[in-house]
């Protein structure tokens, strides 16, 4: 295995870049941390396509293998993808503004955007069924959880203010005092955990980020 293939060299590079970015913030040394950040922004643009290409490989695989129950949908998936990408790239080629292609804009406005919101909207349905099934006072902990959730909900609706002006107060107090306290403690703990994880990655103990 050549030197460049060794994972240890890659970890050294990762650590060097991380140290440069940290030192750039706290010192005035010429460590080129800003340059590495600029590089990462541009490399991030290339990385955007990785997930897309992984998905394309997945669907091509199913279409070619004619996987039962999947291949028809995978073919449809690739047709829609092809139409979207080709119309978008045609717009880019003509004016460098993909949005100028009317077919591309039509797909985004009438297919992508509403279905995006609809997909997130499914969680609206699940909220009420989850509330009904989950928020039950089985133990002291679940009772507290349930009461807090109900009070916070009460605190954010105008109907409770109309019933009694002080009705929303407990919920608003809970979210702004004990809720905020728990959140702040968790944030500090997660911050310390993040630093520890980063140090572990920089010392080579965590290698999950390296393509295997």
Nearer to another protein, 64 or 115 (CB): 115
Taking CA atoms, 144 is separated from 95, 140, 169, in Å, by 58, 6, 17
- Nearest Cα to Cα of residue 174 among 159, 160, 189, 155: 155
Is there binding between residue 182 and another protein (CB under 8 A)?
Answer: yes
Binding residue (CB under 8 A) for another protein from 52, 61, 67, 94:
52
- For residue 202, state whether it binds another protein (rule: CB under 8 A): yes
Q: Minimum distance between the CB of residue 166 and another protein, rounded to whole angstroms?
A: 11
Check if the beta carbon of residue 74 is closer than 8 Å to that of residue 62: yes
Q: Which residue lies nearer to another protein by CB, 65 or 108? A: 108
For 12, the token pair is 């050294």
- Does 16 engage in binding with another protein (CB under 8 A)? yes
Q: Is 63 in the site for another protein (CB under 8 A)?
A: no
Closer CB to another protein, residue 29 or residue 137? 137
Beta strand ranges found along 29-86 (DSSP E) = none
Using the rule CB under 8 A, which residue among 14, 60, 71, 170 binds another protein?
A: 14
Q: Does 47 bind another protein (CB under 8 A)?
A: yes
Range 66-125, binding another protein (CB under 8 A)? 73-74, 76-81, 83-85, 88-89, 92, 96-99, 104, 106-125
- List 61, 151, 164, 170, residue binding another protein (CB under 8 A): 151
Measuring CA to CA, which residue among 50, 59, 98, 54 is closest to residue 78?
59
Residues 6+ apart with CB under 8 A from 171: 151, 152, 153, 154, 155, 156
CA 10, CA 150: separation in Å to the nearest integer?
Answer: 51
Residue with tokens 């407990």: 170
């Amino acid at each position: 295995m050549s030197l460049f293939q060794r994972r240890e060299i890659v970890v050294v590079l990762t650590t060097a870049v991380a140290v440069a970015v940290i030192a750039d913030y706290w010192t005035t040394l010429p460590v080129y941390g800003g340059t590495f950040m600029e590089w990462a922004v541009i490399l991030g643009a290339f990385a955007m396509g990785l997930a897309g290409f992984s998905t394309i490989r997945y669907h091509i695989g199913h279409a070619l293998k004619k996987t039962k129950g999947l291949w028809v949908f995978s073919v449809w998936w690739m047709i829609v993808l092809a139409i979207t990408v080709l119309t978008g790239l045609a717009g880019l080629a003509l004016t460098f503004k993909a949005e100028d292609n009317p077919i591309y804009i039509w797909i985004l406005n009438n297919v992508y955007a509403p279905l995006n919101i609809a997909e997130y909207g499914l969680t609206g349905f699940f909220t009420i069924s989850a509330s009904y099934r989950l928020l039950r006072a089985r133990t002291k902990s679940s009772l507290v959880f349930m009461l807090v959730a109900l009070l916070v909900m009460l605190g954010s609706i105008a109907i409770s203010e109309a019933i009694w002006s002080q009705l929303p107060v407990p919920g608003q107090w809970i979210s702004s005092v004990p809720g905020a306290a728990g959140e702040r403690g968790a944030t500090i703990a997660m911050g310390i955990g993040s630093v520890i994880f980063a140090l572990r990655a920089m010392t080579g103990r965590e290698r999950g980020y390296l393509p295997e």
